Amino acid sequence: MRDHRRRRRPAALLVATALAFGTAACGSGSGSAGSDDPNTLEVWTRSNPDSAATYDRVFAAFTKKTGIRIDYQPIINFDQQLQSRASTKDLPDVVINDTALMGSYQSQGLLKPIDPASVAGGDQITDKSWSSTVGIDGKHYGIPYSRQAQTLMIRRDWLQKLGLKAPTTWQEMLSVAKAFATRDPDGDGKADTYGIVAPGSAQNGYAAWWGASFLWQGGAEIIKPDGKGKYSPAMDSPAAVHAVSWMKDNLFCGDNGVVQPGALTAVTSTATNFQDGNAGMYMTGPYNITTFDGTLGKDRYEVVPAPAGPAGGDVLADGENVYLGARTGKDRQELALAAFLVSPEGQRIAMTSVDGHQPVVRIPVNSTLDAAKVRDDARWGVVQKAYEDASQQFPNAPDFAPIKQDTADALNSIFTYCGGDVRAQLAELNDTLAGDLKDQDLLK
């Protein structure tokens, strides 16, 4: 068994544990060229060329509307480059990145606090979305931009062939998964299909990211707030032991082929069995809808709410915030960009795909918009309802990166070594999480 009572990460490296990418991709601008021009904003996003093309359309519309120019930099190895710029006290004016990174950014002093009332249109953003931008000190450090929630993607044609219905409970999901794995749903006469895709690697916290929905559906929490700015580890609770044991015994340690081969070393970029056509279910985010429509075919699968566990059907919600760099001195221009990004016009542009490029807003944060109507696709209504009615987010005020990574390490180890004692392993994880919270002076 791995020793989870170990490492403490240097503060400057905390962000880098969340994500790992290759080389940087430079955009239409040139480094920090815009930083000295009061009418030019340097904006960074963590984007590949596909999603960067959508941001290009968004920023072009903003410049046309306001005259404020955008020096846009789509960055792939985002965290390394941001730390480099922070070390020289030359931050980008605006950053758009994951909600879960806010605590890390704020703890390093990289962000400017924001008054929601100062953002035109901010009153059209729900309290639930605004809540994910509140730091330990009670101040807001981001502006909600895009939200998403996991749903179950499932092969419609396989269900029909086997005379099954989409599952609504854990037990039904397990029964469908076993049928997909054993009853030849693709009709090729070979035992080459699998029930569920699981990106269960510990790398970059994937096991915790994918497993979080099951934890919450089982009534478990990773860390528990006390309502006064402190937290306590909660992965030794009876609910956590039951949920993790259920995943271990039914998904990873059985001999029924429920998950795809190599699930415990798979990350999202390698867990391609659903789109490749040999796995029947995938609990994942809506960004995959565009991909699956192009690879698998829109008519062969459907998007349904996650099956409920003992405590309900809550799933992991995530998204991106707009962050304003500390001490950039361009408040008026930055707030103008933020107002456009959350406006109905800005959100619609970011939600639509042109030439097959990936939309960068999944569920709109502007409450006047309906994702299904904007996209003329009822499946997005399923995602929006999941976010609004049955979702939870990782705690945003702490630096959650080390907490997520340690949880992923433990879950991956539990699922790998099937003979282990789940209760003892989770107690060990709890000790590690207590250390992570103590490092941040957040331990109750």
The domain ranges of the chain are: 11-148+318-393, 151-316+399-439
Q: Which CATH class is domain 151-316+399-439?
A: alpha beta
What is the value of pTM for the model shown?
0.88
Separation CA 214–CA 87 (nearest Å): 39
Print burial letters for 281-309: b (CB count within 10 Å at least 16), e (below 16): bbbbbbbbbeebbeebeeeebbbbbbbbb
CA angle 317–284–145, rounded 5-degree value: 40
Across the chain, which distance is largest between two alpha carbons, in Å?
66
Separation CA 108–CA 11 (nearest Å): 8
Instruction: Give me the DSSP letters along 347-393.
Output: HHHHHS-STTPPPS-SEESBTT--HHHHHT-THHHHHHHHHHHSEEE
Query: What letter does residue 163 receive in the DSSP assignment?
Result: T
Please name the CATH architecture into which domain 11-148+318-393 falls.
Answer: 3-Layer(aba) Sandwich (3.40)
Residue pair 194/279 in contact by the 8 Å Cβ criterion: yes
Print burial letters for 349-363: b (CB count within 10 Å at least 16), e (below 16): bbbeeeeebbbbbbb
From 217, 235, 222, 231, select the one nearest 391 (Cα to Cα): 217
HSE-CB for 56 with a 13 A CA cutoff: 15
Residues near 195 by beta carbon (within 8 Å), at least 6 away in sequence: 176, 177, 178, 179, 180, 181, 256, 257, 258, 259, 279, 280, 281
CA distances from 185 to 159, 196, 200, 279, 305 (A): 8, 13, 24, 10, 22
Residues near 302 by beta carbon (within 8 Å), at least 6 away in sequence: 153, 154, 156, 166, 379
Separation CA 273–CA 267 (nearest Å): 12
Output the tens digit of pLDDT for each of the chain's 444 residues.
Answer: 344 444 444 433 333 333 332 233 333 343 444 457 889 999 999 998 989 999 999 999 999 999 999 999 999 889 889 999 988 888 999 999 999 899 989 989 999 999 999 999 999 999 999 999 999 999 999 999 999 999 999 999 999 999 999 999 999 999 999 999 999 999 999 999 999 999 999 999 999 999 999 999 999 999 999 988 899 999 999 999 999 999 999 999 977 669 999 999 999 999 999 999 999 999 999 999 989 999 999 999 999 999 999 999 999 999 999 999 997 789 999 999 999 999 999 999 999 988 878 899 999 999 999 999 999 999 999 999 999 999 999 998 899 999 999 999 999 999 999 999 999 999 999 999 999 999 999 999
Residue 261: CB atoms within 10 Å: 11
Q: What is the CA radius of gyration of the chain?
A: 22
Host H or E run for residue 324 = strand 315-324
Give the pLDDT score at 396: 87
Domains 11-148+318-393 and 151-316+399-439 share a fold: yes
Separation CA 83–CA 13 (nearest Å): 8
Give the pLDDT score at 237: 98
Residue pair 321/145 in contact by the 8 Å Cβ criterion: yes
Q: Which two tokens stand for residue 113?
A: 């606090």
Separation CA 390–CA 317 (nearest Å): 9
